[in-house]
Amino acid sequence: MVFKPQKFNGEEPVRSNPEPPTEVVLETSVAEQLAVSDGVDASSVSATAIKGEIVLSGTVGSAEEVDRAIQVALDVPGVDKVSVNLAIGERGSI
């Protein structure tokens, strides 16, 4: 079987850019990545998406966990910016 490149009237088809992920997809993706990432206990962290920006809220155990949570969120495709509303201390204290 031979596959030929797609042509329309002798021209390559126009390909549109994929749609950016929805807010629900971003929130879910960030939450999943935080849950499986080393260096951050995300059991008391929530992620909310607003137009490509992720807001991390909750409590973590150390400043290093805050930094790690930010990096994990930024590594998710579609995340443009991360805002932090994380407290450092005992989980569930806020």
pLDDT tens figures, 14-40:
666 667 778 999 999 999 999 999 999
Q: Spell out the CATH class of 23-88.
A: alpha beta
Q: Residue 8: which pLDDT band, with cuts at 50, 70 and 90?
A: low
Q: Is residue 67 packed enough to be buried (19+ CB in 10 Å), middle (13-18) or exposed (0-12)?
A: middle
Q: Is residue 28 packed enough to be buried (19+ CB in 10 Å), middle (13-18) or exposed (0-12)?
A: middle
Q: What is the pTM of this model?
A: 0.74
pLDDT attached to residue 63: 95
41-93 pLDDT tens trace: 989 999 999 988 999 999 999 999 999 999 999 999 999 999 999 999 876 54
Q: Residue 6: which pLDDT band, with cuts at 50, 70 and 90?
A: low
- Domain positions in the chain are 23-88
